[in-house]
Amino acid sequence: MDIRTSPLRAWMLAAAMLVVAWLPTAVVGVALVLAGLAWAPHAVVLVPLTLFVAGFVGEAMRRERLPGKALRPGDEPELAALVRDVAGRIGFREPLLVRVVPTVDASLAPTKTAGGRAYALLLGYPLLRMLSADQLASVVAHELAHEEHVRDRRTAALRFARQVLADRMERRFRPLARLAAPLLRASQPPMWQAELAADADAARVTGSAATAQALQRTGVLHEAFEGLGSTWWSALTEEDTYPVDFYDALETAVRDPYVAARAARGVAEEDAVDPYATADHPPAEQRLAALPPDAVAAAAYGAEPVTLRAAASIERWCLGGLAGLDDPDPDPDPDDDPRPVRLLDMTPDQLHDLGDETGKDLLLLATGEESPERALSAALDALADGTWPRLAGLLEPGLRRMPAAARTTVAQAVLTAALAQTLHAVLRPAGWTRAHRWLATVLTAPDGTVTDLHELAAQAVRAGDPAPLRALLTAAAKTRKEAAA
């Protein structure tokens, strides 16, 4: 049902979501007022006034500062020409400011300039350098078309209310799920319809093939950035270093089929975890299926990435943002800056040492076993008898606070990671060798077979069948006995 055919319903939903979103804040505010009244009746008026002023100033400061770095038409004429042409074909007439951000992002935000109202088009640097011009044009077309589809007042109000409520659902003191979830679920269909309509408009400009490629490529880049990339940054930051070739390494990694496949699985898993219906985008699979199959490109922008004249300085700025080098320091000291290192110069062992191996340690702790072999055997027993959700809860205590709709998917991911890491620890001493530069759990067996342990563990957990993993555990034990003899 398209609630744009029912204005009253749309406005009522928007109002209800805002009430539910601000209800916890209102309760806290009332409690503060009552506490102030009991403590100092003559000063009670200062409590809500102070909270209001602080909230207003904070919100104003957040709105005034646009994220990213400006990419001016004179500095980047090729990018400006692409954006201008796409905007013309979509029918987007508002002034546009293009800005680059360090992450995998694409969004459109209203802003103000000296000439009046405008929009800021935020484009992630990974998209600019790793998407073809055709694919980038599809991303731009989608963002501009989407704004056209949600611009009417009641849809904009509904969208705003959803964003406010969705943001509150991620906080420690969140609104009651019993109140919030039905409202978010009821208001989700028009948001999805707007996204699908924007996809169709993008396909009309760049063709269905480029639009499908852009959807898939963007999802893979986002998952690789948030998974593999964040792991690199986290580990190197602890060593007071940062990867100066981060974007080169990320681009190299996502070309690998194992990395691309794991990132694609991550996209599907993320789409499956939406217990409160906060997602404004339909699942990627649904978006791809809804594309018009016969849409032919109205324009060709190129099979190579768009030319960036100032690519080197843009990349330095993005790296500085990720590394925190652009933070103002009243007393700068060059010796305090993180030291640059190169990921592409590291050996596979060094890269794998940057990975997260906490799953194995947590499995040892959760099972109460001292050896990886015994911990893995206990975990496989739990998988066989169906008690594995309890084990997953011990690995990740936060699972018990998650809604039931999301708990199973997240629990499977948690157990999969722990099994893969522990199996890696068992197989390496049994003669299995590293087969992959970027992923530690891709190993070569003594007979030359290459196996992705993470994928094997994921299949076993989804099927509830530990037999394939138990066979590897048995083979490893046999190999160790033969070597000892």
* Whole-number Å distance between alpha carbons of 251 and 267: 18
Percent of the chain with pLDDT over 70: 87
pTM: 0.86
pLDDT of the residue at 280 = 92
* Mean local confidence (pLDDT), 24-53: 54
List, in sequence order, every residue forming a beta bridge with 116; answer none if it has no partner.
Answer: 113
* Mean local confidence (pLDDT), 85-104: 96
pLDDT of the residue at 193 = 95
For residue 319, the tally of other CB atoms under 10 A from its CB is 20
pLDDT of the residue at 202 = 97
Percent of the chain with pLDDT over 90: 66
Residue type, 76: E
Alpha helix stretches (DSSP H) within 331-452? 348-353, 358-367, 372-385, 388-395, 404-427
pLDDT of the residue at 115 = 75
pLDDT of the residue at 450 = 94
3-class DSSP assignment, residue 304: coil
pLDDT band per the 50, 70, 90 thresholds, residue 44: very low
* Whole-number Å distance between alpha carbons of 125 and 395: 35
pLDDT of the residue at 60 = 44
* Whole-number Å distance between alpha carbons of 462 and 328: 48
Mean of the per-residue pLDDT values of the chain: 87
pLDDT of the residue at 154 = 85
List, in sequence order, every residue forming a beta bridge with 434; answer none if it has no partner.
Answer: 443
Residue 330 or residue 274, greater confidence: 274
pLDDT of the residue at 330 = 44
How many residues does this entry show for the chain? Answer: 485
Euclidean distance between the first and the last CA atom of the chain, given in angstroms as a whole number = 71
**pLDDT tens across 420-468, in order?**
999 999 999 999 999 999 999 999 999 899 999 999 999 999 999 999 9
Half-sphere exposure in the Cβ direction for 328 (13 Å, CA): 1
pLDDT of the residue at 296 = 87
* Whole-number Å distance between alpha carbons of 96 and 439: 40
281: phi then psi, degrees, rounded to nearest 5: -100, 135
Place of tokens 């509904």: 158
Angle between the N-to-C axes of helices 246-254 and 257-272, in degrees from 0 to 180, rounded to the nearest 10? 90
Residue 49 or residue 224, greater confidence: 224
pLDDT of the residue at 331 = 47
pLDDT of the residue at 35 = 59
Residue 152 or residue 25, greater confidence: 152
pLDDT of the residue at 53 = 46
b/e map 13-46, b = 16+ CB within 10 Å: bbebbbebbeebeeeeeeeeeeebeeeeeeebee
pLDDT of the residue at 201 = 97
Residue 394 CB partners (closer than 8 Å, separation 6+): 362, 365, 366
pLDDT at 211 exceeding the cut of 50: yes
pLDDT of the residue at 37 = 55
pLDDT of the residue at 103 = 97
b/e map 130-151, b = 16+ CB within 10 Å: bbbbbbbbbbbbbbbbbbbbbe
Which two tokens mark 463?
Answer: 């099927």
* Whole-number Å distance between alpha carbons of 257 and 83: 31
Angle between the N-to-C axes of helices 208-224 and 133-149, in degrees from 0 to 180, rounded to the nearest 10? 90
Taking alpha carbons only, the member of 125, 148, 138 closest to residue 83 is 138
> Any idea which of 18-22, 104-108, 371-375 has the lowest mean pLDDT?
18-22
* Mean local confidence (pLDDT), 106-130: 93
pLDDT of the residue at 40 = 55
pLDDT at 130 exceeding the cut of 60: yes
Residue 442 or residue 326, greater confidence: 442
pLDDT of the residue at 469 = 95
Beta strands in 244-390 (DSSP E): 339-341
* Mean local confidence (pLDDT), 79-90: 97
